[in-house]
Amino acid sequence: MTTMTIDKPAEAAAVERVRSQHGLTYQVLDQHDRYKSLERADKRNYVFKLAGEIEAVNLKQLVSVPDLAELAQPYFPKLLDLATLEQTPSADFSADDILYGNCSRDHDPKPPAQGLLLEVAGGLVSLKQVRSVYPQGLNPKDMAWIFRRLMMALGFAHSSGLLHLAINLENIWIQPEQHGLVLVEWEPAIKQGEILSAPINHHRQTVIAPELIEGCQPTTAADIYMAVSCMREIIAEPMPEKLRTFFNGCLFEQPSKRPYDAWEVKEEFDQLLEKLWGARKFRPFAVPQDLKRITPLDPEQIKTKRKEK
């Protein structure tokens, strides 16, 4: 997303406004990259992010398919509010002026920035954090549930008509103990069939499908390529050869040679898992207790044993 320079008073005012409007009693915790984790007082988890209306529209579209909305929502941040921030606020303006764009200053032509109040699951960490504490890579059996959840997230997204196009380890958040997954950063997303306005800057994206660098029209195959590339980054070697062959089939340079249906990829992956290790069962996964969580961890919600879905 485009980097915006926002004065701290404006951001604080935006957080305060959405706090008051929604009757919340949280406090802002340490910033985690572009997201600010919010301390919960109502047993729900919130993050505040500097973003624009485009991402707000995309988050709504992700859960717009009637038959899939309830199933899809846990895989994406839930949009609660969109607040407008003036980029260079003056002390003469009230918090409401800053938030809702009532500041009229001809000498400052900058458009207002915006912030999103989002609800997400508790106890989240990014795959980038996971890789840092497992530098030798994850056991393939641990990687397996993450990839299954990621394919489900993409299946729901693609069913809604959106392409993510920014899948990397920073934007994949997981609940280690509960095997949950949330795919974030939906501002770069586009509708299927749309053409990129410009090639994606591959210097800012560690994992990227070749067609995005070339500026070609992307398809769902691009998201699957990047998702598989992320799994290759976190899995320990040597991986089973059948698994390597499966992943390689998703990583052809030509998009037409890759799979394009995330649901089918998940089903074929499930069949492969059964061949490799038999019937699925829940495999506990944990990260060090001192690893900083994006959202607070609720010990009461941790289940060490449950039936694998």
> What pLDDT is recorded for position 307?
45
pTM of the model: 0.81
Residue 219 identity: T
Give me the mean pLDDT over the 289-308 stretch: 65
> What pLDDT is recorded for position 1?
25
Each residue's pLDDT tens digit, 155-191? 999 999 999 999 999 999 999 999 999 999 998 899 9
Q: Percentage of residues in the chain with pLDDT exceeding 70?
A: 69
Better-scored residue on pLDDT, 149 or 82:
149
- Distance, CA of 302 to CA of 175 (rounded, Å): 10
In the chain, where the domains are located: 8-120, 125-277
> What pLDDT is recorded for position 272?
98
* Fold of the domain spanning 125-277: Transferase(Phosphotransferase); domain 1 (1.10.510)
> What pLDDT is recorded for position 72?
97
**Can you tell me whether residue 126 is helix, strand or coil?**
strand
Which residues on adjacent β-strands are paired with residue 28?
Answer: 38
Each residue's pLDDT tens digit, 284-294? 999 998 888 88
